[in-house]
């Protein structure tokens, strides 16, 4: 078997290499830490800081960061820290569901296009090219503008713009794996197409898809923030980092902390997923020892 075939058909990554790559390298460990912190805030945020994120306190409007409100309050006296913690769940939920949906649909499209070729490949990939031709943020804005602002429509829009990325990767990998000896052997033994695709080809193309998924997770969080900032994503009073920044625009001179903390939350979370994506790329790279 040639070198590329050997690399693609190699044994699963060992637990020792997982630990060495994700925890033994400073950048990777930082990515794991930041992603873990974001997930902790999304899951346990209301328990860590149990103030109601939507409860106004008109006696504490635009209070600066202090003992009672570590991140200050907004224009209605709502606690910014509580809104940051609650907003993390919405942002991560949008990222998770949209990327998972795009990953599943894109992988299926790429598998079919790469394995069967011919008219199926041409039709499916031309459809992906049409989507890919539009700038992602503009296409997401167009979809949410047509369907209306809501959490579900934001998820759908982000999934659609990421769909061609996964489809292209899955197709390219399927074209390579589909020609390898062990796949040809299963065809010769009479295994069905579904069995070959799901049990033979798919396990050998998952690594680059997982890496791309972690990187697009960061992109999905940014896109959701754009949509919410423009009023096309999750609607108030539900807090998200994007609509918190939208509110902060009107109070930059009086209360700059309203922009600081949501901006930092977006930056730290996106940085964490990018570092994690780089670590996963190194982990699955067969050239890495």
Q: What is the 3-state secondary structure (H, E, C) of the chain?
A: CCHHHHHHCCCCCCHHHHHHHHCCCHHHHHHHHHHHHHHHHHHHHHHHCCCCCCCCCHHHCCCCCCCCCCCCECCCCCEHHHHHHHHHHHHHHHHHHHHHHHHHHHHHHHHHHHHHCHHHHHHHHHHHHHHHCCCHHHHHHHHHHHHCCCHHHHHHHHHHHHHHHHHHHHHHHHHHHCCCHHHHHHHHCCCCHHHHHHHHHHHHCHHHHHHHHHHHHHHHHHHHHHHHHCCCCCCCCCCCHHHHHHHHHHHCCCCCHHHHHHHHHHHHHHHHHHHHHHHHHHHHCCCCC
* Residue boundaries of the structural domains of the chain: 21-44+71-284
Is the confidence at residue 14, as pLDDT, over 70? no
CA distance 32 to 15: 16
**Looking at residue 9, what is its pLDDT?**
42
Q: Which CATH architecture has domain 21-44+71-284?
A: Orthogonal Bundle (1.10)
Q: pLDDT tens for residues 32-56?
A: 999 999 999 989 988 888 899 999 9
User: Are residues 60 and 69 in contact, defined by beta-carbon separation less than 8 angstroms?
Assistant: yes
Label residues 212-225 b or e (16+ Cβ within 10 Å = b).
Answer: bbbbbbbbbbbbbb
Q: pLDDT tens for residues 187-233?
A: 888 788 888 888 889 988 988 999 899 889 999 999 999 999 988 88
Q: pLDDT tens for residues 104-136?
A: 999 999 999 999 988 999 999 999 999 999 988
**Looking at residue 287, what is its pLDDT?**
55
pLDDT band at 6 (very low <50, low <70, confident <90, very high): very low
Query: Average pLDDT in the 17-26 region?
Result: 71
Give the distance between the most distant pair of CA atoms in the chain.
77
What are 61's two structure tokens? 């409007």
User: For the ranges 2-6, 100-104, 125-129, 172-176, which has the lowest average pLDDT?
Assistant: 2-6
Which of 23 and 61 is assigned the larger pLDDT? 61
Query: Average pLDDT in the 257-278 region?
Result: 93
Mean pLDDT, the chain, integer: 87
**Looking at residue 197, what is its pLDDT?**
87
CA distance 24 to 169: 29
What angle (nearest 5°) sits at the alpha carbon of residue 32, between those of residues 27 and 38? 125
Q: pLDDT tens for residues 138-158?
A: 999 999 999 998 889 999 999
CA distance 277 to 28: 9
Place of tokens 């009023």: 231
Query: Average pLDDT in the 245-258 region?
Result: 91
**Looking at residue 17, what is its pLDDT?**
66
Which of 184 and 288 is assigned the larger pLDDT? 184
**Looking at residue 2, what is its pLDDT?**
40
Q: pLDDT tens for residues 90-106?
A: 889 999 999 999 999 99
């Amino acid at each position: 078997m040639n070198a590329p075939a050997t690399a693609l058909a190699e044994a699963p990554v060992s637990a020792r290499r997982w630990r060495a790559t994700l925890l033994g390298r400073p950048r990777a460990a930082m990515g794991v830490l930041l992603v873990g912190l974001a997930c902790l805030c999304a899951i346990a945020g209301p328990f860590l800081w149990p103030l109601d994120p939507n409860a106004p306190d008109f006696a504490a409007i635009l209070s600066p960061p202090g003992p009672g409100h570590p991140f200050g309050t907004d224009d209605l006296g709502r606690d910014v820290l509580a809104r940051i913690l609650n907003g993390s769940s919405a942002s991560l939920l949008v990222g998770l569901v949209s990327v998972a949906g795009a990953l599943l649909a894109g992988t299926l499209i790429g598998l079919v296009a790469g394995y069967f070729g011919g008219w199926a490949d041409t039709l499916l990939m031309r459809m992906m090219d049409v989507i890919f031709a539009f700038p992602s943020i503009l296409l997401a804005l167009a979809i949410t503008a047509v369907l209306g602002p809501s959490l579900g429509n934001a998820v759908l829009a982000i999934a659609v713009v990421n769909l061609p990325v996964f489809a292209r990767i899955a197709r390219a990998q399927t074209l390579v794996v589909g020609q390898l000896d062990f796949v040809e052997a299963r065809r010769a033994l009479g295994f069905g197409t579904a069995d070959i695709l799901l049990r033979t080809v798919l396990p050998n193309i998952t690594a680059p898809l997982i890496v791309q998924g972690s990187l697009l997770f960061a992109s999905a969080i940014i896109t959701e923030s754009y949509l919410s900032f423009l009023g096309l994503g999750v609607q108030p009073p539900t807090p998200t980092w994007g609509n918190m920044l939208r509110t902060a625009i009107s109070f930059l001179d009086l209360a700059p902390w309203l922009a600081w903390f949501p901006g930092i939350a977006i930056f730290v979370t996106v940085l964490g997923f990018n570092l994690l994506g780089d670590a996963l790329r190194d982990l699955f790279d067969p050239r890495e020892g």
